[in-house]
């Protein structure tokens, strides 16, 4: 097929969420878990940044100008997926191509799972309620969690969502708890707990929580009002999010918390961020005094921060925070703000 050209997504009524680069009612639970006492977390400062410039890795465009939106990688890293509405008879849908370029193929006509991880095939036959949203499969692929909540407009801080879990084989659901002003983030790496944001009781402490499934007390991983853009690392060992509405301005910024509760780190200022491989945190700091964008890597094992790409590393800039790291963290795909092309960068 031909390479997709300028898309006309707006005319087809597709509402794709865009995150600004500067950042990144339900029935109460029958058994309310007792939240841990409110704590004040002091993040561990990052190791001093050593901005030693590195040679710009190879980068090249994959598509024609004006193509595509909302890029992400296949689970094995062999394909780059994106949404496009090509000219001519080609349909609106999800398309795929190799990170080395070449033929572009139609992967799916459904846009319902863009770009979150799809429900595992072993759970595809599960009879979930029509109201189920935000499906998350456990690390052992034995359970699935989801949320249900009112679709009526409501202040985000007052929005209530019930969190449910079901075994994939027997399909018997059970409600775990209700979160207020937050949402289900996913499964902790050990598969024994969920990670959620918000408040667990009316007027309670806001933050990011670990919720054990065995009925043990919940654990406040990090306090904060309105945690936003929370994303788990590939194996669920870490969760990253940002705070922007704290009474203490020094607490605003990007936070990285171990889902066991064993560690907390923070980044100075705001940034756009993604996970590469487990423990590899990639981020693009927001800096008003720089003309270009810089990609940095935080190794959560050593605490060392390294400059991966200098200020000339993203030709044309990044459009609408649209970039993604491969599962192995060795390649980056992004949509150029200058011409709408998809570019791939091999980090080496």
Residue 265 lies in a domain: yes
CATH of the domain at 286: 2.130.10.10
Residue 226 lies in a domain: yes
| Domain coverage including residue 179 | 48-63+133-346
Residue 4 lies in a domain: no
Residue 1 lies in a domain: no
DSSP string, 191-225: SSEEEEEEESSTT--EEEEEEETTSPPPEEEEE-S
Residue 108 lies in a domain: no
The one-digit pLDDT tens for each residue of the chain (348 residues) are 434 444 333 333 333 333 333 333 333 333 333 333 333 444 544 444 444 444 445 788 999 888 888 899 998 999 999 999 888 888 999 999 999 999 999 988 877 655 444 444 444 456 788 888 888 999 998 999 999 986 666 787 889 999 999 998 877 889 999 999 999 999 999 999 999 999 999 999 999 999 999 999 999 999 998 899 999 999 999 999 999 888 888 888 999 999 999 888 888 788 999 999 999 999 999 877 777 889 999 999 999 999 998 877 788 889 999 999 999 999 999 999 998 999 999 887
Cβ atoms 18, 115 nearer than 8 A: no
Residue 153 lies in a domain: yes
Which residues make Cβ contacts (< 8 Å) with residue 122, sequence separation at least 6?
141, 168
Which residues make Cβ contacts (< 8 Å) with residue 48, sequence separation at least 6?
305
The torsion angles phi and psi of 150, rounded to 5 degrees, stand at: -70, 140
Cβ atoms 71, 332 nearer than 8 A: no
Q: How many domains, the chain?
A: 1
Q: Is the pTM of this model over 0.75?
A: yes
DSSP H or E segment with residue 124:
none
Residue 41 lies in a domain: no
Residue 87 lies in a domain: no
């Amino acid at each position: 097929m031909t390479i997709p050209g300028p898309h006309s997504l707006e005319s087809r009524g597709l509402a794709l969420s865009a995150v600004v680069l500067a950042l990144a009612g339900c029935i109460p639970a029958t058994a309310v878990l007792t939240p841990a006492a409110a704590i004040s977390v002091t993040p561990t400062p990052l190791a001093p940044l050593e901005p030693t410039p590195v040679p710009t890795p190879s980068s090249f465009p994959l598509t024609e100008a004006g193509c595509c939106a909302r890029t992400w990688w296949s689970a094995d890293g062999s394909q780059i997926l994106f949404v496009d509405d090509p000219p001519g008879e080609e349909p609106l849908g999800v398309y795929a191509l190799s990170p080395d370029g070449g033929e572009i193929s139609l992967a799916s006509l459904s846009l319902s799972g863009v770009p979150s991880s799809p429900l595992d095939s072993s759970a595809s036959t599960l009879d979930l309620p029509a109201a189920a949203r935000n499906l998350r499969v456990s690390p052992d692929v034995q359970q699935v969690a989801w949320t249900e909540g009112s679709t009526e407009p409501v202040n985000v801080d007052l929005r209530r969502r019930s969190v449910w879990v079901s075994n994939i084989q027997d399909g018997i659901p059970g409600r775990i708890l209700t979160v207020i002003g937050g949402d289900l983030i996913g499964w902790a790496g050990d598969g024994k707990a969920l990670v959620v944001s918000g408040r667990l009781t009316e007027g309670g402490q806001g933050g990011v929580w670990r919720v054990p499934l065995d009925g043990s007390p919940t654990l406040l991983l990090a306090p904060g009002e309105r945690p936003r853009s929370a994303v788990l690392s590939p194996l669920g060992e870490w969760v990253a999010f940002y705070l922007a509405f704290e009474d203490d301005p020094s607490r605003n910024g990007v936070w990285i918390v171990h889902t066991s509760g064993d560690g907390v780190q923070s980044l100075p200022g705001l940034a756009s961020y993604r996970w590469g491989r487990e423990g590899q945190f990639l981020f693009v700091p927001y800096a008003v005094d720089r003309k270009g964008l810089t990609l940095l890597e935080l190794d959560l094992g050593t605490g060392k921060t390294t400059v991966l790409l200098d200020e000339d590393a993203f030709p044309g800039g990044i459009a609408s925070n649209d970039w993604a790291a491969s599962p192995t963290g060795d390649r980056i795909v992004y949509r150029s703000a200058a011409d709408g092309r998809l570019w791939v960068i091999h980090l080496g």
